[in-house]
Structure 1
Amino acid sequence: MTLMTPPPLDQEDDEMLVPHSDFTEVPQPMEVAQAETVSTVENQVVDDPPLSRFTWTIENFSRLNTKKHYSDPFFVGGHKWRVLIFPKGNNVDHLSMYLDVADSTNLPYGWSRYAQFSLAVVNQIHNKYTVRKDTQHQFNARESDWGFTSFMPLSELYDPGRGYLVNDTCIIEAEVAVRRVVDYWTYNSKKDTGFVGLKNQGATCYMNSLLQTLYHIPYFRKAVYHMPTTENDIPSGSIPLALQSLFYKLQYSDNSVATKELTKSFGWDTYDSFMQHDVQELNRVLCEKLEDKMKGTVVEGTIQQLFEGHHMNYIECINVDYKSTRKESFYDLQLDVKGCQDVYASFDKYVEVERLEGDNKYHAEQHGLQDAKKGVLFIDFPPVLQLQLKRFEYDFMRDTMVKVGINVLSILLFYLPVIAFDFANVKDNENHGYMMFIASVLWRIVDMVRKYERKLVINDRYEFPLQLDLDRENGKYLSPDADRSVRNLYTLHSVLVHSGGVHGGHYYAFIRPTLTDQWFKFDDERVTKEDLKRALEEQYGGEEELPQTNPGFNNTPFKFTKYSNAYMLVYIRESDKEKIICNVDEKDIAEHLRIRLKKEQEEKEHKKKEKAEAHLYTIIKVARNEDLVEQIGRDIYFDLVDHDKVHSFRIPKQMPFNHFKVL
């Protein structure tokens, strides 16, 4: 992330220059700031490493006559690092800056280390204009330095009025965190995070991200547990029981959980599990099913209490006293991304007033056609606010240009028999026939092109806040009937992410289960701890400059479009979070469900143990005298007796025969 640079300073700002005596004449020692780590789950044992800050003060900066300039080494995570700069740019008109492994030439063969870091040029007049960029990299012998060739324009750096070079002194900061490289073959999500993931059946990652989000709304989970089910129900035939079983296993299992019983309860077959469906539609259908099953029970109305809000559609005449209103409910809101820089801009667009005038006048009862205003305002927002970001759209004109160019031949071949038939009938009325023939062909081509409409992905940068204030600007989104005593301040709970294109990709979720500072990434079977930047800023979409390595070679900055971005956000209202983020334990789970699932778990563990110890045992079948008497002479067998009808023993291979005889 690059912070803004300030506008040209006026005379008043020039008088705020920091005096030379405020700076030391040698590089500053490293300052270590321990990042706060909050244990949010009982089994969490792995903490994030501390973030270490190194400050480098460079005097007589403009007099540096070397192409490269290195800082003194500093230690982070037991490793030696240094900052490398190109004061006049690495063959570009920008300051170039990199993080470098100081002792890379002396490290053993095959060395590697992973670090997240930020580099900054401090603005000594206004700290908010400090230029800071951050990235991450797996350092090794081939790539022992990593950073930014075009860090900031030299014209801004050397401008004395900007505040980056004061008394010819430049201050550079590096913040580095060396992280453990996760070996996913041996990685244990439960041990490292306290949570387990969901198995992907083929293309069910979209469903997994939604289920994890719903599971980590404890009030919702508690309501699911309290839905009436019986010991005679079969999970594959009951959505409530299948969901109860899934949630129980997510809460108490040590390994990733399968979703086959749940998808079978949806009525899906194997083919459906390999097809990606629409997340919003799945969410609505699932909530509707649960809402119906909750009727007449102690948890009736839970879905509405959590997710239902209301807005008012209105049309108000400008020149006469007439207004039409209609109240509607919603479980989620679809917000435009295109043309909007953030969530607030989308809400502004949502309530934007449309003018009905000219040929589009409104027909008001008893008043005829009238100029009018049309819009939407919110009556109330739900405790759990689900925002669907419209990252996909139809672009018919663009699609026509692409599809016609590609598919004209196939379209003509497809309709060749019909075209030939039409052409044969041209003789009756030559002029009219030719016109009808051409019109017929064109119409069929247009019809085929319409069927080839495709969605386009919107990867524009779109920001969303950690806290969302929907009472802003004196409640501009609220209708006159809204209860102004309710504070509509929300905190972000989940970010559901789509990575890829319109025809496929991958889905995962970033979730704060207890709304603390610790985020977790739920990516199918794998759950990892993540920081705020990964969960928010890296999911904004848009373009990003690829960090440059090999300072002497890779000199051209390269920007790429991010294809991983948020498509669904879940916010929880601050005033309701204590109720929603509640405690859920075994007392909330029906006894028959606990007994059933514990029995399933015991059987699973027993089979697992048997499989692990199978090589230590053998099966011995013993034909007793009574077996011989009963079978010999009655039927013909390959051996004396039918081995499937005699007694069998599973015994350790090391058991002596005399011990076996006494069994």
Structure 2
Amino acid sequence: MKRALEEQYGGEEELPQTNPGFNNTPFKFTKYSNAYMLVYIRESDKDKIICNVDEKDIAEHLKIRLKKEQEEEDDKRRYKAQAHLYTIIKVARDEDLLEQIGKDIYFDLVDHDKVRSFRIQKQTPFNDFKEELAKEFGIPVQYQRYWIWAKRQNHTYRPNRPLTPQEEAQPVGQLRDMSNKAHNAELKLFLEVGCGPDLRPIPPPDKTREDIMLFFKLYDPEKGELRYVGRLLVKLSGKPIEYIAKLNQMAGFAPDEEIDLYEEIKFEPCVMCEHLDKRCSFRLSQIEDGDIICFQKSLPIASEEACQYPDVPSFLEYVHNRQVPLVCGDLLNILLSRSKIHTYDDVVERVAHKIGLDDPSKIRLTSHNCYSQQPKPQPIKYRGVETLSEMLVHYNQTSDILYYEVLDIPLPELQGLKNLKVAFHHATKDEVVIHNIRLPKQSTIGDVIDELKTKVELSHPNAELRLLEVFYHKIYKVPEEEKNLGLNNRLIHVYHFSKETAQNQMQVQNFGEPFFLVIHEGETLAEVKLRIQKKLQVSDEEFSKWKFAFMSLGQPEYLQDSDIVFKRFQRRDVYGAWEQYLGLEHSDTSPRRTYVNQ
């Protein structure tokens, strides 16, 4: 009844925790099973129930849903079949730069995956596409100027040059092939539109070979914020100082405000942002179309000391190195904006401060497994990694999740101890009780038993305890005192098992609590079964369903009640649990225990 109600309807099942002592959510996997229902039908109603189903028998809301799903599937199929006939055009505008810079991105200008995208037939003339954009954006065709993006040698991606009238007369497919050597079906453009005094669109200014278009970002060192403020068409022979008043106007500063200018050059593999000489011409500074200039107010020395990142280069360096991990614990999620170069001590001190813990050494951290979406099995050792960046890397992926737990003793002290989970079995099959025992690593087995005696209730004060090492439901080592029991006795392993079919092959799966049993010469299986039933306290009804098999190298040989068990176990050196054992085949009705594989 319990299996029918609780285990036969799918859902999720938890795997055992592999990180002892860490209170994290165990890894879950979906259970698949079949459910059967017996339905009784009156003979008189048989023709009404067991009959063909036609369209009039389907509910109207199901018809609508099925039709919608079919149309979506047809659209996807048609989209895929016609993909070679179309070009994807992504158009970035000033509005996109204003929306993304300082929020989604800090380096370069735009994330093209978040800009307006159009699917246009390859044979469509680009001028016709401009008409479509005029309707889409409300910008007359004569006010539009389009720039081709280009990837530079330093891996930055900038508007490179405007399209010529001859190019705009070409089909979009030909234009894509001309501009994009990768042939990845996308044409990326930047739409330049002039802006009048009343903020209405106007035709962009004429551009000669002497003119270059620059993009400007403003940095506020007091707030630690970076934002896009616009673009300008400047003369190559001109100097930045000639445009200071215009930049101050764009930033909302006073016309005579002193500002510092920096050129954002690249950000991979490291940030390069250099100071720009305001009195040196753009040509001499090697500034070109699509370059990015960052500027800020000039700060006095006192203000610089008060700001964590006083200038653009230091802020961009911080943004490049920082990681924002979500640190998860039992009761609290902490959002830490920390630099990837910060040390282990920096991280635990920040976590301890957030949760109000006086001793940061009691914080234990565990990295995140990007594939299972769970904590890694082993926590991070005390100062076992140098930087936050190392904590967040899982193979070739970087996570933004870090787990913490609060210990009752400092982590360095805990690492000097050995934590054991001991399952205490009474003489009969009572409910197993799990005890956590923590002892110095140099402790002996005797120390473990002595510590266990203080935690359990014994049948009498002089009762002796025996410690067995169990691995995957099998006894891994035989105590020395039980290897030699005389010529007429044998010590055998007894394991519970069930059979499972995987990939058309039968496999034996062990479960439950293993134990030793002494068998005697001439003893039949029927006699052995009586002793096993008494030891395990199994009801007659349940025990009658059990099967008994001699297991050798994983292959079962089923036994009859009249078989002499002693004859099957002729070897006396039963050192390995994998060689020979008496198997008890039955269904696993016991609750899942998390310690069995530890």
| TM-score for the superposition, normalised by structure 2 | 0.20
| TM-score for the superposition, normalised by structure 1 | 0.19
| Higher radius of gyration, 1 or 2 | 2
